Amino acid sequence: MIDFNKLQESAGLKPELNSLGSIVSAFVPYLFGIAGIILFLYLIWGGFGIMTAQGDPKGTAAARERITHAIIGFVIIFAAFWLVQILGLVLGVKQFGNLFQ
């Protein structure tokens, strides 16, 4: 009989990644980090746009829109993180608490 755990270990895969849920749980912290970095760069791009607009109303408006979108994105990511934490605490799901560690 084939031992799939040994096969996964020899292939360099973690044996605990045996379901779609565990695979998604492994990637969620990285997705939050990548989203945060992208939004931070978007915020910097908006600030640079305001500095280089030279008083042009269209350029300033576009840069302010970028900054607004970046701030809204930060709020959504922050709210999603805390919503998962609070739901895990209220529902007693231990995996939610360990998701971001």
Residue where the block lists tokens 């970028």 = 66
| Domain residue extents for the chain | 21-98
Quickly list DSSP for the chain.
---HHHHHHHTT--TT--SHHHHHHHHHHHHHHHHHHHHHHHHHHHHHHHHHSTT-HHHHHHHHHHHHHHHHHHHHHHHHHHHHHHHHHHHT-HHHHHTT-
Q: What is the largest CA-CA distance in the chain?
A: 73
pTM over 0.85: no
Question: pLDDT tens, 28-74?
Answer: 778 888 998 999 999 999 999 999 999 899 999 999 999 999 999 99
